Structure 1
Amino acid sequence: MPEIHVAERAGVGPDGKPRPSEDHVVVLENAALVLDGATSSRLDLPSGGWYAGHLAERLAASLHESPGADLAAVLAGAIAEVAVKHDLKPGAAPSSTVAMLRWTADRVDGLVLADSPIVAFGQSGPSVLADDRLATLRRKGRLSSEARVRALRNTEDGFWVAEADPTAARHAVRRSWPRHEVDTVLLATDGVAVAVDDYRILDWSQLLEIGRTQGLSAVLDTVRAAEAGDPGCLRWPRAKPHDDQALIMVDFR
C-alpha cells in the first residue's frame, strides 16, 4: 500500500462569495480519484458538485466490486447508472471532470477525462497524463460563454466530460506505467494545475518538491498567494478569483 496524502480547499463562486467545494476526492485500497464538478449558472439543474459527488460514490463502489475492471468501462457504467438513477439527460445535466488512478503489484493505470491531470514521477522525470481539449478550445476563444461551452460539450469537435452520456468514457485519455518505474503520482483538479499550466509559477517537479518537503497544503497556499496578487483577474483571466482545489499524492517509495 503506498503512502497517500490529500489536500483540499474550497474556492469561491463566480460572485466571489465562499461556497462549498465542488471537487471530490476518493481514496481506496488500490485506487485514488479526483473529480471536479463544473460550476454552472443554470438554476434548473443540480450543481456540478452534486453530480461529482454522486459519480464519485458510484465509481468507488464499482472499483471496490471489480478492482481489475477496465477503467473506461467502469467510468461508462458509473455515468450510465447515475444518469438513470437521477433521470439526467445528455445535454441537459451537470458535469464533472474525472481523474482515476489504480495500481497493482506490476502496473499503475491512469485515466483522465477533461482538465484534471495525473502526473507520474520516476527516474526520467514527470510523465503528464492530461486531456488538453478544453485548454485548446480556450486558447482558440471558442469557450467565450456558457452557451458555447454547452454546445461543444461531448462533441467530436469539442471536448469530453462526464455528464449523462456514457460514451464520453471512450474518449478519456489513458496511460499505464510499470509499477517499478513510478515513485510518486499526483492527481489534481485544475484549481491546482493552473500553477503549472496557466500561471507558470511552478513546473510539475517543483510542485512535487513543495508537496514532499512542506506538505500538500503548501502547494495550495502557493496558488492562492499568486491569485491574491491578481485580485482583478487581469494577469490571469479567470471566471473566479479562486477555484476549488484538490490534490492527491500517491507515494510508492
Structure 2
Amino acid sequence: MIETAEQGAPGRVTEDRIRVLPNAVVVLDGVTSRTRPPDRDGGWYATRLADELARTVDAGTPLTELLAQAITSLVAEHDLVPGDSPAATAAIVRWDDETIDALVLCDTPVVAFGRTTDVVEDTRLADLRPDPDILRWTNRPGGYWVAEADPEAGRQALTASWPREMIKKVVVATDGVSCGVSEYGLFSWDELAELPLGAALDRIREAERSDPEHIRWPRCKTHDDQAVVRITA
C-alpha cells in the first residue's frame, strides 16, 4: 500500500512533487534560483525532473546514475546552466521482489522501518547553513549537492539498500514534513510511520502558526511546502 499527502505553504502553489509508480516512488522539492527566468521556478524544474525519473526509474540502472542521466536530459532539452538554474532535492525508493533501494540528495530523507529504524538523510546542506555565502558551496566538493544543471550531483547522492523481507514500511518526506521530527520534535519517525499523514501535516502547520516570529524554531520562512509518502509492505 502506498499513501501520500501534500500541501503547499499557505498562499502559494507547492513546488514539491510526488510520482508513484508500480515499483518506485519519486519525491522532489523544487528550489528556485535567484536569477532564473520567472517561468522556470523550482516547481517547473521539479515537475520535469520527476517526469524524467518516472520514465526511467524502473530500469536496472543504479539510482545515482539514473538521477545523473535525468539531469543530463533536462540540461540538454532546456539549455540549463550550472549556477543559474532552478533545482530540486531528490529522493527515490525502488523495489523488486528481493531488495529495496533508496537514494537521497539534499534534505529529503528516506526512513525504513524494520527491526530497526534506518534514517537515510543528507546533512551536507545543514552542516553548511551558518555560512552567509552558502550558495558558493552548491554542487562543489566539500559543499552540498542538489539536482540542478550538473549531472555529477546525481552521482553524489547518498544511497541505501535493504532486503525487502526485513522492511515493513518506508517513509519519504520533504523538509516541510521532516522538520516535524528533526526540528520541532512533534513526533518521532516511528510515530510518523503510524500517524494519519494528513493529521501529521496539520500538526506541523499548527506548530508553525504558534511561532510566527520564528523564535522557538528559528527558520527562514514560517511555512514550507509539504509532501510525504508512506509505503507499507
Kindly provide the amino acid, as one letter, of the partner of residue 136 in structure 1.
D
Aligned to 1:218: 199
**Is 1:207 aligned with 2:192?**
yes
Cα deviation code 1:107-163 (max 9, x no counterpart): 000000000000000122x1001101011112xx11x3xxx2321100112100000
Q: Distance in 2 between matches of 1:58 and 1:33?
A: 10
Shift of 1:186: 0.2
Q: Which of 210, 222, 226 matches 1:245?
A: 226
Map 1:124-139 to 2 at 5 A: 124=116, 126-138=117-129
Give SS of 2:193's match.
helix
Shift of 1:52: 0.6
TM-score of the superposed pair, with normalisation by structure 2: 0.96
TM-score of the superposed pair, with normalisation by structure 1: 0.89
**Is 1:25 aligned with 2:46?**
no
Change (3 A) 1:227 1:206: same
Q: Distance in 1 between matches of 2:74 and 2:32?
A: 18
Runs of 4+ in 1 over 4 A off after TM superposition: none
Q: Distance in 1 between matches of 2:181 and 2:54?
A: 28
Q: Which of 48, 70, 85 matches 1:54?
A: 48
Q: Distance in 2 between matches of 1:168 and 1:39?
A: 17
Give SS of 1:209's match.
coil
Shift of 1:170: 1.3
Shift of 1:40: 4.2
- How many residues get paired? 232
Which segments of 5 or more consecutive residues in structure 2 lack a partner in the other structure? none
Kindly provide the amino acid, as one letter, of the partner of residue 174 in structure 1.
T
Q: Distance in 1 between matches of 2:167 and 2:199?
A: 23
Cα deviation code 1:70-95 (max 9, x no counterpart): 11111000000001101001111111
Give SS of 2:139's match.
coil
Kindly provide the amino acid, as one letter, of the partner of residue 156 in structure 2.
H
Q: Distance in 1 between matches of 2:151 and 2:33?
A: 21
Q: Distance in 2 between matches of 1:71 and 1:176?
A: 11
Map 1:53-92 to 2 at 5 A: 53-64=47-58, 66=59, 68-92=60-84
